[in-house]
Structure 1
Amino acid sequence: MENKQQHRWVLYILLVIISIFMLFPVLWVISSSLKPSTELFAWPPSIFPNEITLNNYISAFQNANFGRYLFNTVFVTITATIITLIINTMAGYALAKYRFRGSTIILVFFLSTLMIPLEALMIPMFIVLKNLGLYNTLWGVIIPPAATPTGVFLVRQYIMSIPDEMIEAAKIDGASDWKIFVRLILPLAKPILATLTIFSLMWRWQDYIWPLIAISDSNLYTLELALANFVGEYSVDWGPLLAMAVLTMIPLITVFLLFQRFFIRGIMMSGMKD
Structure 2
Amino acid sequence: MDAQKIKTTIFNVILLVIAFITVVPFLWMLVSSFAPNSEIVKIGGSFFPTPSTFDNYRNIQENFGFMRMFLNSLFVSLTVTALTIYSSALIGFVFAKFRFRGRGLLFGMVLSSLMLPWAVTIIPRYEMMVTFGWLDSYQALIVPSMVSGFGIFMFRQSISQISDEMLEAARVDGASDFFIFHRIILPMSRNTISSLAIFQFLWSWEDFLWPFLMINDESKQLISVGLRLFNGQYGTDYGGLFAATSVSIIPVIIVYLIFQKQFISGIASGSGK
1:140 aligns to what? 140
1:29-108 equivalence runs, <5 A: 29-108=29-108
C-alpha contact 1:158 1:270 (8 A) present in aligned 2:
no
2:175 aligns to what? 175
The offset of 1:47, in angstroms, is 3.5
Moved over 6 A (4+): 270-273
Inter-partner Cα distance in structure 2 for 1:205 and 1:267: 23
1:252 aligns to what? 252
Inter-partner Cα distance in structure 2 for 1:131 and 1:215: 15
Gaps of 5+ in 2: none
Label 1:51 to 1:209 Cα distance change in 2 as closer, same or farther (>3 A): closer
The offset of 1:187, in angstroms, is 0.6
Whether 1:119 and 2:126 are equivalent positions in the alignment is no
Q: Structure 2 counterpart of 1:229, which letter?
A: L
Label 1:164 to 1:12 Cα distance change in 2 as closer, same or farther (>3 A): same
C-alpha contact 1:110 1:149 (8 A) present in aligned 2:
yes
Inter-partner Cα distance in structure 2 for 1:101 and 1:207: 37
Whether 1:156 and 2:156 are equivalent positions in the alignment is yes
Please give the per-residue CA displacement for 1:2-21, whole angstroms capped at 9, x wherever unaligned. 33223212221221111101
1:232 aligns to what? 232
Q: What CA RMSD, in Å, does the superposition of the two structures yield over aligned residues?
A: 1.7
Scaled by the length of structure 2, the TM-score of the pair is 0.95
Number of aligned residues: 273
Inter-partner Cα distance in structure 1 for 2:133 and 2:207: 21
SS at match of 1:35: coil
Label 1:128 to 1:272 Cα distance change in 2 as closer, same or farther (>3 A): farther
C-alpha contact 1:158 1:266 (8 A) present in aligned 2:
no
The offset of 1:230, in angstroms, is 1.9
Please give the per-residue CA displacement for 1:73-120, whole angstroms capped at 9, x wherever unaligned. 011011111111121110011111111111111100011011222111
Scaled by the length of structure 1, the TM-score of the pair is 0.94
Inter-partner Cα distance in structure 1 for 2:34 and 2:2: 46
Inter-partner Cα distance in structure 1 for 2:204 and 2:12: 35
C-alpha contact 1:93 1:156 (8 A) present in aligned 2:
yes
87-96 vs 261-270, greater mean Cα deviation: 261-270
Inter-partner Cα distance in structure 2 for 1:51 and 1:145: 40
The offset of 1:49, in angstroms, is 3.6
The offset of 1:272, in angstroms, is 8.1
The offset of 1:127, in angstroms, is 1.0
Q: Structure 2 counterpart of 1:122, which letter?
A: I
Inter-partner Cα distance in structure 1 for 2:266 and 2:105: 25
C-alpha contact 2:32 2:51 (8 A) present in aligned 1:
no
Label 1:104 to 1:138 Cα distance change in 2 as closer, same or farther (>3 A): same
Gaps of 5+ in 1: none
Label 1:49 to 1:233 Cα distance change in 2 as closer, same or farther (>3 A): closer
1:196-207 equivalence runs, <5 A: 196-207=196-207
1:188 aligns to what? 188
